[in-house]
Amino acid sequence: TLSWMLFAALAFVAVVLLGMISILFPMLSRFENSFGALLKNTVFLAMANLPRTAILGVINAAALFLCARLVAPLFILPSLAALFGSYAIEPMFAPYMNDENAAE
């Protein structure tokens, strides 16, 4: 049972890290920071919104798993994962966007 608990903990950490990586590029495209500040802000934003980060990690992990196992989803699944991921990311960025950036 200890091995299953360790596996579950490692799987959760992996999903959260995948969610953080998935937040990194949208953060880069919206805000101007140095690389260190970008990583720090991504970690803080991901931890402040941990349920959304986990959902984002699960979406991307499921898409990655299905695309690795089957050929047919390879054509549509990455774009669907990006679309559903944007629904998880947009509310995270909303408090930090000013009116000019939100309109763009």
Assess whether pLDDT exceeds 70 at residue 99.
no
pLDDT band at 100 (very low <50, low <70, confident <90, very high): low
Place of tokens 């805000």: 31
Residue 102 neighbours by CB under 8 Å, 6+ apart? 94
Q: Which of 31-40, 43-52, 95-104 has the lowest mean pLDDT?
A: 95-104
In this structure, the chain runs to a length of: 104
Structure tokens belonging to residue 91: 């509310």
> What pTM does this model have?
0.80
pLDDT at 32 over 90: no
The residue-averaged pLDDT of 67-73 equals 89
